[in-house]
Amino acid sequence: MDEQQKLANSKEVLAFLATEFPKCFSLQSEAKPLKIGIFHDLSQRLENDARLSKRLLRMSLRHYTSSWKYLASVKEGAHRIDLDGVDGDEVEKEHADHAATQLKESKAKAAEKRQELKKQTQDKKSPKSRVNIPGKADVSVKKPPERKAKQAAPKVKVRELVDDDMKVGVQVSVKVGSSPMPATITEVAKDGIQVQLNSGMTVKVQRAQLRLTI
């Protein structure tokens, strides 16, 4: 396949997936919770498609499942769907609670950014504070922007995995991106350990990326 035809970013990949699997992926209407293991199914269906790599596919899928529209769809009792839109297992309470927390935190961060941009715009338009010094011209003093203290996330107690912990169903903490996320071991293989995140997405990682949740 010609190099120019390859998909370049997550936006293009998601548009491609919505076209190839319209009963599964939606960019305009309401989203539906995806089947656990959907990445594996996609990899098999698109095995001979040279337009995208597995790395870009995984990154695009993560982008889709972290969107507000998708997180809002992950509700307890809702049916997960496969690539053909067929209903499967119901969303468990733990996964629904995790998605609700992610949605709340994401919206809070977005609101904070909007407030900060609004404040910066107002500061640029408003006159600077002035200090009168006897015998001298007024000196303009610009107040430094106030910094909001970041609230520390509650710490989860973890420890390193031992051989006895390498079992399907064990609750772990996995380092995906910049911060650890709760997950469950679903498969232990020679080339890595497959875990399922609370959002429903499955990823394969190395043992060094995992910690046992105490």
Task: Let me know whether 172 and 88 are in one domain.
Answer: no
pTM: 0.53
Residue 168 falls within a domain, yes or no?
Answer: yes
Domain count, the chain: 2
Domain hosting residue 49, numbered range: 3-95
Residue 49 falls within a domain, yes or no?
Answer: yes
**3-state SS assignment for residue 113:** helix
Those residues with Cβ within 8 angstroms of residue 192's Cβ, 6 or more apart along the chain or in another chain? 204, 205, 206
Residue finishing a domain among 41, 60, 95: 95
pLDDT tens digits, residue range 66-106? 999 999 999 999 999 999 999 999 999 999 999 999 999 99
pLDDT at 1 over 50: no
Residue 104 falls within a domain, yes or no?
Answer: no
- For 213, the token pair is 């949740």
CATH number, domain at 166?
2.30.30.140
Q: What is the pLDDT of residue 16?
A: 93
Task: Let me know whether 91 and 20 are in one domain.
Answer: yes
Those residues with Cβ within 8 angstroms of residue 107's Cβ, 6 or more apart along the chain or in another chain? 68
